[in-house]
Amino acid sequence: MLNRFKSLPTNYKSALIIFIAVLLWIASGVLKSDTKDSSIKDVTVEKIISIRAVDIEAEDKTYYLTIRGRTEAKNKAILRPKTTSTVLKTAEKGQFVTKGTIICALDPEDRVARLDEAVANEKQAQLKYDGVQKLAEDGYRSDNAVATAEAILKGAIARREIAQNAVNNSDVKAPFDGFLEDVNVKIGDLISPSQSCGSIIQFDPMIVSGEVTEKNVIKIISKQEIDVVLLNNSTIKGNISYISKSASPATRTYKIEATFKNSDGLIREGLTANIKIPLENIKAHLVPSYLLSLDDEGELGIKITENNVVKFVSIKIIEDSPEGIWVVGLPDKSKIITVGQEYVINGQTVNVQTVQN
């Protein structure tokens, strides 16, 4: 056998030696693996995660329906003359004016003369009527004469009133107390009833209007007291003054309006404001917003612990405040997870370290 091996070519000898070496290497590995498998036992160690939690208790809270709205002037008026004439004087825009203030004074032209003539004719007709009526009482005039004199007097009175209105119409006056938003003419302009002299806005009281869904509109009561919260967090008391009976075809929402005092006129039209309508007193928890999470179904909730077991509780947000978020749905006394909530799941056992709130 050895002589045959020696007689083989050199390359055959090398290949045979390599083959034998590979077989020995594989065999040694199998033996070692079997030895290890038989000597090592599987040991599974379950690690319990530690978390931090805080005890919180429900507080009495008024549940508000919050509606986004905008402030509006209660009354607006575009001022137009009732006659055609030349502008003699205008009020200065941007000022507060009272009811009856002349905004645009027009040239009365011959209207004053016509009024004087009408007044004189009325006096003459009145004297004639008084004389005829006296004679009729003494039997010297007929009832027909009295009726004729009376008709002449009434015609004179009517012409005097028409002339008086013509004179009055030469001044465009403020119909209510308000802010003179604009003046559209200048002295010397010829203005007609189709043209605007200016515009006036009433700022006291003010209105804030918003839209509510059909689900919430039934919860609102007319004349109900509400809070109007502006962007600077200032709050003003008001009352519900209007609830629409018809929904918007585009949004299927109902318009509501609340009226509030604005005696100093500092609140402008078009400001963003929230209407907060108190609905009921409930028990709620104030929690930091970063503790909110979602479960596998997309439900909003907070993770708490009960007997060292994680529990996901669905909640409902009722108010967002600078201090945190007011929610309902948690047990009155809850131990909420504040650190580590992102690493645990519902039903998991944990080590709980309770910290002071």
Give the tens place of pLDDT for each residue, 99-130. Answer: 999 999 999 988 889 999 999 999 999 999 99
Rounded to the nearest integer, the mean pLDDT of the chain is: 86
Between 58 and 47, residue with greater pLDDT:
58
Is pLDDT of 36 > 60? no
Does residue 288 have a cis bond before it (omega within 30 degrees)? Answer: no
Poorest-pLDDT segment among 15-19, 147-151, 183-187, 349-353: 15-19
Residues 70 and 153 grouped into a single domain:
no
Residues 201 and 166 grouped into a single domain:
no
Give the tens place of pLDDT for each residue, 257-278. Answer: 999 999 888 899 999 999 999 9
Residues 280 and 355 grouped into a single domain:
yes
* Positive/negative CA dihedral, 331, 332, 335, 341: positive
Is pLDDT of 4 > 70? no
Range of the domain at 338: 44-80+197-357
Residues 162 and 281 grouped into a single domain:
no
Poorest-pLDDT segment among 5-14, 135-144, 316-325: 5-14
Two structure tokens written together for 41: 């036992």
Between 251 and 45, residue with greater pLDDT:
251
CB-count burial class (<10 Å; 0-12, 13-18, 19+) for 122: buried
Instruction: Tell me what pLDDT residue 81 has.
Output: 93
Residues 153 and 289 grouped into a single domain:
no
3-state secondary structure of 78: strand
Among 163, 194, 225, give the residue marking a domain's end: 194
